[in-house]
Chains A and B, each alone.
Chain A
Amino acid sequence: MLTLKQTRQLRTFLLGSLAWIVALLVFFPIFWMLLTSFKTELDAFSSPPQLFFTPTFENYIQVDSRSNYFHYAMNSVVVSFGATFLGMLLAIPAAYSMAFFETKRTKGTLLWMLSTKMLPPVGVLVPIYLIFKDVGLLDTRTGLILIYTLINLPIMVWMLYTYFKEIPKDILEAARLDGATPMQEILRVLLPISKGGIASTLLLSLILCWNEAFWSLNLTASSAAPLTALVASYSSPEGLFWAKLSAVSTLACAPILIFGWFSQKQLVRGLSFGAVK
């Protein structure tokens, strides 16, 4: 017979093991991608797939010469940071004034911003494509930066708004009584206090831009194509380059995956428009 304590320990052990099994299954595709990136193309295609093999770094060494990796990576970096910066420039003042100078329209405006996210991208694909073609924004980083700023702006405003709401109003009012202009108030008081919230918002925007794959596939061809498009180019059936695909994919996903791991709790707030904290 088991004692009560032993039953509880057994239960904890079984539930813990189950959780580990589920987690490893969920993570398996990523692990397998990492593993395949160290295989030769021949090993990558062997049947049955091999768990043990002689690892090679060939795929990583050749990643730039074979697929011009750094060109695409650079585009991803410029576009993600550009859109994030521009988005912050618009979102911080908006969220500041909504959180501290709330009017009757504030809640309506916030909900309206959320509703712009409901507009399916295909509904505006044709006109955006034609406008971009006419003004020469097709396949440019500037074009992608503009689109990404607009699609992420509602999320950024919402996320910052929920963080700013938590700051006691007195702190800002004290600065205002000392004669600070709104600009000084934001730069010298608000931003330093809400560093955490600002950082999470930046991170979320970077992640969303980095992984965006509707506009990047439709509006870029080569010169402004980011990593999502580079990876998509491996879908053409002109040969089997799975080990190289894996190496490129690993490099493309690693930074965002690590960002995500470190900021999972803060991201919940932004991704749920402040509804889950």
Chain B
Amino acid sequence: MNTSSLPVEHSAQAEESSQSVQSQRRRKSKISLAMVSPSVVVLLAWMIIPLSMTIYFSFIRYNLLYPGDEGFVGLENYYYFMTDAGFTAGLTNTLWLVGSVLLISVVLGVLIAILVDNMFWGRGIVRVLLISPFFIMPTVSALVWKNLLLNPVSGVFAAIWNFFGATPIDWFTHYPLGAIIMIVSWQWVPFAVLMLMTAMQSLDQEQKDAARLDGAGPIAIFWHITLPHLMRPIAVVVMIETIFLLAIFAEIFTTTGGGPGYETTNLAFLIYTQALLEFDVGVASAGGLIAVVIANIAAFMLIRIVGKSLTEKH
């Protein structure tokens, strides 16, 4: 970005010699200010007002069940939130959930995108089927998986286990977080497939053919041509999915309610329980800010990797 701003300044200086151009430029910047500012102002308000309220609440004692008891408590809310039994669980579960779904969707996404890149009968239909889960609303995916597929008595998985003579697994009792990871992966692998499938189409076929003529095997082509080509879209997938995966809520809300115990409670769900079930605004706000800090650390790293290439393309 720094290098590109130089020639702009030069041409700007040249333009200033002509007065009509200058007035036109002033008009232009006035127009652009009037047109961009509504969006900027509402987004700024959306960020600053609630966020500063969260910061304020996090330093006072504030429980909706005990009104009139508000007072400055310093870091007490943070202390309560971080020493709560749910905090370590929530943090670990968040990391497991985000980490494993990212890994699963990138690995499967790449493999499926490459598989579908071949010519075969009904490819259009296959692509449509593959991306469909992404368009299913989270509450539907969660309940369909929980009740129709993973149910230990009448679910489809139980039937498969029975068919092979195994005892069906009671997923939500024994592997609750695993079950959630399965559901969320089912929703987000298609997103990776959609992105990477599209990116595969811009892969230079001639380069691949040339490599093949030089005696490169499919694995060498994958490592040296396909994967480097997909690095940027993979980075985009990781960035976008991280934003959404850090905020996973509906899937937990409708299937486990965070349980058993804290086994499927992530940070988002923990803060929700503090705020809307226990009405402890102070502690929930402290938790909310911790979530914001974590998301910002993730975002900072991701923007550094991906953000720059996003604008450079234009």
Contacts and interface: CB of A to CB of B under 8 A. Distances in A.
Contact of B154 (A47, A120, A182): A47
B31 interface: yes
B195 A214 contact: no
Contact of A97 (B32, B46, B125): B32
Interface of B: 1, 5, 8, 28-29, 31-32, 34-36, 38-40, 42-43, 46-47, 49-51, 53-54, 57, 112, 115-116, 118-123, 125-149, 153-156, 158-159, 162, 186, 189-191, 194-195, 198-199, 202, 232-233, 236-237, 240, 243, 246-247, 249-250, 253-255, 267-268, 271-272, 275-276, 281, 284-285, 287-289, 291-292, 295-296, 298-299, 303, 306-307, 309-311, 313-314
Given A26-B133, A45-B154, A275-B309, A12 B119 contact: yes
B133 A30 contact: yes
Contacts of A93: 34-36, 38-39
Given A123-B289, A227-B137, 18 more contacts: A12-B118, A22-B130, A45-B154, A49-B154, A49-B159, A93-B35, A103-B29, A110-B311, A113-B39, A125-B271, A207-B135, A211-B138, A214-B247, A217-B253, A231-B140, A235-B253, A246-B148, A256-B137
A260 B130 CA distance: 12
A61 to B, nearest CB: 20
B198 A228 contact: no
A129 interface: yes
Given A113-B39, A211-B135, A120 B148 contact: no
B190 A126 contact: no
Main secondary structure of the interface of A (DSSP, over half): helix
Main secondary structure of the interface of B (DSSP, over half): helix
Contacts of B51: 119, 123-124, 127
- Size class of the contact patch on chain A: 35 or more
A54 to B, nearest CB: 18
Contacts of A187: none
Interface string A110-136: 110111111111111111111100000
B288 A101 contact: no
Interface in A222-253: 227-229, 231-232, 234-235, 240, 242, 245-246, 249, 252-253
Contacts of B35: 93-94, 96-97, 182
Most chain B CB within 10 A, of A23, A28, A229, A274, is at A23
A171 interface: no
A90 B311 contact: no
A274 B314 contact: yes
Nearest to A155: B240
Contact of A120 (B115, B139, B246, B281): B246
A253 B98 CA distance: 25
Contacts of A271: 191, 194-195, 240
Nearest to B38: A90
Given A19-B126, A101-B29, A256-B135, A118 B296 contact: yes
